[in-house]
């Protein structure tokens, strides 16, 4: 469904590099050396990770990560941090004050500052 949605939006494929479904499975959507389509202005210098969810029952932005998603995300970030030690881990809305988005609906900068 995600691939169909992104193709409809004109992307070559899923815009993120990684997509983590509720069951904690990490889906590799495009190789990290390939430019992403997930954060305007930052695509050429970032790796995009998305988790399935992000809205509560009322359709409001919310941190809906399952325990499995949190575990997989932490594993993935640790691995990427080994490959890219200087990389900053930021939520989409933390890239710039000009980004008016709620995603990923949690403070990624704070949560992963020790990595």
Give the binding site for Zn ion (CB under 5 A): 92, 103
Kindly provide the b/e burial profile for residues 56-93, where b requires at least 16 CB atoms within 10 angstroms of the residue's own CB: eeeeeeeebbbeebbebbeebbeebeeeeeeeebbbbb
Minimum distance from residue 68 beta carbon to Zn ion (Å) = 21
- Give the nearer residue to Zn ion in terms of CB position, either 68 or 103: 103
- Give the nearer residue to Zn ion in terms of CB position, either 3 or 85: 3
DSSP assigned state of 46: -
Minimum distance from residue 92 beta carbon to Zn ion (Å) = 3
Minimum distance from residue 33 beta carbon to Zn ion (Å) = 21
What dihedral angle (degrees, nearest 10) is formed by the CA atoms of 86, 91, 97, 100? 150
- Give the nearer residue to Zn ion in terms of CB position, either 46 or 72: 46
């Amino acid at each position: 469904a995600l691939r169909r949605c992104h193709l409809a939006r004109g992307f070559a494929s899923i815009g993120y590099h990684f997509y983590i479904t509720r069951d904690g499975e990490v889906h590799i959507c495009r190789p990290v050396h390939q430019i992403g389509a997930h954060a305007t202005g930052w695509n050429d210098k970032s790796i995009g990770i998305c988790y399935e969810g992000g809205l509560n029952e009322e359709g409001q932005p919310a941190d809906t990560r399952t325990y499995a998603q949190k575990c997989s995300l932490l594993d993935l970030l640790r691995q990427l941090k080994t490959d890219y030690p200087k990389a900053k881990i930021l939520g989409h809305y933390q890239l710039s004050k000009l980004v008016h988005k709620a995603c990923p609906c949690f403070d990624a900068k704070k949560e992963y500052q020790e990595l």
